[in-house]
């Protein structure tokens, strides 16, 4: 995909899938805006030409201001990637701390809503755009200790479907990506918990973050059109082949 001239904003871009995506989109020629709470960390890792912006996706005012800033600086916003997420709290539902549980929903679910809500007026005004959300297989089945994460990811997938239903006629391309298990800090946290089967997976068996990053770029092109309002899964060998992954 040639993304030259496209403005791409990525939440949670300081590490993991978000950072790999920033690098992949920059390599494809896009003007990348990296969003996150720690602008110092963003700046240290930003690829050449990328800009950074402070943004806590759990805070509506932060997201709204970030989108307004991007639109003012660049005159448009072609792609918004809902990537920011947290696996915590990991633990039984019966003993979950309500504040920690709510914070996970604020980031993983409300953060996705905030992204959609902030970019839709901009994308409508310019005649269209793409919103990609990094989802999870956890959206489809419960896992021990992951009640907040599974709940939020299921809701985020429904937001993609709802956005497609309401906004496709206005030019919105809304797609979710289920990347499988990815070799990031989140997987290290899962490993440390020792809870459920995912924590037992050898770190070397997780796919590299470059795989979902390259897939996100691919989803911006015609290959993603068959998945509008739905979810692309990197567990699908035909998807990996289409993207050109080993």
pLDDT in tens, 6-51: 999 999 999 999 999 999 999 999 999 999 999 888 999 999 999 9
Q: What's the pLDDT band for 102 if we cut at 50, 70, 90?
A: very high
Has residue 233 been placed in a domain? Answer: yes
**How many of the other CB atoms lie within 10 Å of CB of 222?**
8
Marked catalytic residue, from 6, 110, 149, 191: 149
Marked catalytic residue, from 6, 110, 153, 191: 153
Has residue 209 been placed in a domain? Answer: yes
Chain-wide mean pLDDT for the chain? 97
pLDDT at 41: 87
Has residue 119 been placed in a domain? Answer: yes
Cα separation of 30 and 95, whole Å?
A: 45
pLDDT at 1: 85
Cα separation of 124 and 42, whole Å?
A: 29
Considering the entire predicted model, what is its pTM?
0.96
Query: Using an 8 Å Cβ cutoff, are 7 and 76 in contact?
Result: yes
Reply yes or no on whether the pLDDT at 132 is more than 80.
yes
Residue among 21, 17, 15, 53 at smallest CA distance from 34 = 53
Q: In the predicted model, what is the mean pLDDT of residues 135-160?
A: 98
Q: In the predicted model, what is the mean pLDDT of residues 203-229?
A: 97
Has residue 62 been placed in a domain? Answer: yes
Q: What's the pLDDT band for 115 if we cut at 50, 70, 90?
A: very high
pLDDT at 246: 75
Reply yes or no on whether the pLDDT at 154 is more than 80.
yes
Q: What is the DSSP letter of 209?
A: T
Q: In the predicted model, what is the mean pLDDT of residues 61-84?
A: 98
User: H helices of 38-97, where?
Assistant: 39-45, 60-74
Tell me whether residue 153 is one of the annotated catalytic residues: yes
Domain that includes residue 178, residue range: 7-243
Reply yes or no on whether the pLDDT at 198 is more than 80.
yes
What is each CA distance from 57 to 130, 163, 223, in whole angstroms?
18, 18, 28
Cα separation of 23 and 63, whole Å?
A: 22
Has residue 1 been placed in a domain? Answer: no
Q: Reply yes or no: is the peptide bond before residue 89 cis, omega within 30 of 0.
A: yes
Q: What residues are paired with 9 via a beta bridge?
A: 33, 80
Q: Which residue has the tokens 């947290």?
A: 86
Q: CATH code at 64?
A: 3.40.50.720
Has residue 94 been placed in a domain? Answer: yes
Q: What's the pLDDT band for 161 if we cut at 50, 70, 90?
A: very high
User: Which tens digit of pLDDT belongs to each residue from 73-97?
Assistant: 999 999 999 999 999 999 999 999 9
Has residue 32 been placed in a domain? Answer: yes
Contacts of 227 (CB under 8 A, 6+ apart): 175, 219
Tell me whether residue 191 is one of the annotated catalytic residues: no
Total number of domains constituting the chain: 1
**How many of the other CB atoms lie within 10 Å of CB of 11?**
30
């Amino acid at each position: 995909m040639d993304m030259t001239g496209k403005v791409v904003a990525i939440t949670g871009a300081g590490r993991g899938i978000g950072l790999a995506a920033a690098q992949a989109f920059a390599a494809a020629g896009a003007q990348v805006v990296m969003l996150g709470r720690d602008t110092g960390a963003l700046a240290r890792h930003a690829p050449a030409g990328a800009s950074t912006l402070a943004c806590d996706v759990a805070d509506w005012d932060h997201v709204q201001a970030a989108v307004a800033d991007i639109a003012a600086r660049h005159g448009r916003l072609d792609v918004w990637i809902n990537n920011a997420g947290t696996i915590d709290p990991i633990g039984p539902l019966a003993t979950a701390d309500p504040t920690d549980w709510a914070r996970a929903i604020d980031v993983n679910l409300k953060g996705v809503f905030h992204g959609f809500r902030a970019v839709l007026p901009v994308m409508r005004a310019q005649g269209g755009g793409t919103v990609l959300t990094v989802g999870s297989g956890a959206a489809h089945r419960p896992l021990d200790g992951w009640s907040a994460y599974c709940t939020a990811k299921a809701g985020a997938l429904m937001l993609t479907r709802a956005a497609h239903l309401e906004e496709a006629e206005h030019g919105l391309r809304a797609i979710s990506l289920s990347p499988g298990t990815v070799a990031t800090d989140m997987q290290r946290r899962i490993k440390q918990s020792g809870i459920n089967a995912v924590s037992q997976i050898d770190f070397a068996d997780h796919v590299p973050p470059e795989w979902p990053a390259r897939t996100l770029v691919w989803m911006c092109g015609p290959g993603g059109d068959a998945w509008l309002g739905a979810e692309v899964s990197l567990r699908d060998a035909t998807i990996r082949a289409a993207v050109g992954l080993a």
